[in-house]
């Protein structure tokens, strides 16, 4: 028996008749904690994955779309905020593994190159790791770090308008992107979409045809 990475309670493994259960690694998060993450369901905006009764939500109506689409898994509720605080700001690296099976499910059958959204060097030093690569790494998902980020003021300190009008903050780590048709950007949270849109912009300028995104929270 192991303990839940979030609440430290012992995790009970329930027996199942599914054959796949035999090969599954033991759960690293208890059922109660897992239930705290609310999945996004229902009708979603085609572009940004926000819950919306319209096919294209209000936020996406008049904007330049470099990012072709975004899919998010969970709602950024209070539980998710607490999780991010623990993971990102208190640097609890191990809990990045929590979304492994959910991410594997979302990425099954996808064969684009997966590129994590980088953090600036300063931010990486503060935290000790880049949270997006950390989640992928701990989920055994192959990725390539091809983008780097300039150091700017914290996103959370900016107003929504400032975030939407942001200038390019990304650059290529190496010599551009090469012959790649499709890229899937990976980020932890989709807020206004401006960060992902900027990353998509630089990739499209470099010749990538399709850029979509997968984010944990929305
Ligand atoms: Zn728990
Ligand atoms: Zn939208």
Could you tell me the distance, in angstroms and rounded to a whole number, from the CA of residue 6 to the centre of ligand 1? 5
Q: Which ligand is nearest to the CA of 197?
A: 2
Q: Which ligand is nearest to the CA of 44?
A: 2
Could you tell me the distance, in angstroms and rounded to a whole number, from the CA of residue 92 to the centre of ligand 1? 15
Q: How many CB atoms sit inside 10 A of residue 6's CB?
A: 22
- Per-residue confidence in pLDDT tens, the chain, 218 aa: 788 989 999 987 665 555 555 556 677 889 899 999 999 988 999 889 998 999 999 888 877 789 999 999 999 999 999 999 999 888 888 899 999 989 999 999 888 999 999 988 888 888 888 999 999 999 999 999 999 999 876 666 667 666 556 689 999 998 777 777 899 999 999 988 989 999 999 999 999 999 999 999 99
Q: What is the pTM of this model?
A: 0.87
Contact call for residues 93 and 127 (beta carbons, < 8 A) = no
Nearest alpha-carbon partner for 183 in 217, 207, 157, 167: 207
Could you tell me the distance, in angstroms and rounded to a whole number, from the CA of residue 64 to the centre of ligand 1? 41
CA–CA distance, 173 with 29 (Å, rounded to integer): 35
CA–CA distance, 134 with 41 (Å, rounded to integer): 26
Q: Tokens standing for 5?
A: 């990475």
Contact call for residues 7 and 32 (beta carbons, < 8 A) = yes
Q: Which ligand is nearest to the CA of 2?
A: 1
């Amino acid at each position: 028996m192991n303990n839940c990475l979030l609440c430290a309670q012992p995790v009970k493994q329930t027996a199942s008749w599914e054959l796949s259960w035999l090969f599954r690694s033991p759960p690293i998060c208890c059922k109660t904690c897992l239930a705290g993450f609310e999945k996004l369901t229902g009708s979603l905006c085609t572009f940004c994955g926000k819950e919306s009764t319209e096919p294209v939500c209000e936020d996406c109506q008049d904007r330049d779309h470099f990012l072709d689409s975004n899919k998010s898994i969970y709602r950024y509720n209070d539980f998710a905020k607490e999780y991010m605080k623990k993971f990102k700001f208190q640097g609890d690296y191990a809990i990045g593994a929590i979304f492994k099976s959910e991410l594997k499910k979302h990425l099954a059958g996808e064969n684009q190159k997966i590129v994590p959204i980088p953090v600036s060097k300063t931010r990486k030093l503060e935290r000790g790791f880049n949270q997006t690569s950390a989640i992928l790494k701990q989920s055994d998902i192959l990725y390539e770090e091809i983008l780097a980020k300039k150091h700017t003021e914290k996103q959370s300190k900016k107003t929504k308008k400032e975030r939407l009008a942001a200038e390019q903050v990304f650059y290529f780590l190496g010599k551009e992107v090469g012959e790649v048709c499709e890229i899937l950007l990976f980020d932890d949270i989709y807020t206004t979409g401006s960060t992902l849109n900027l990353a998509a912009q630089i990739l499209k300028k470099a010749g990538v045809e399709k850029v979509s995104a997968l984010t944990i929270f929305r």
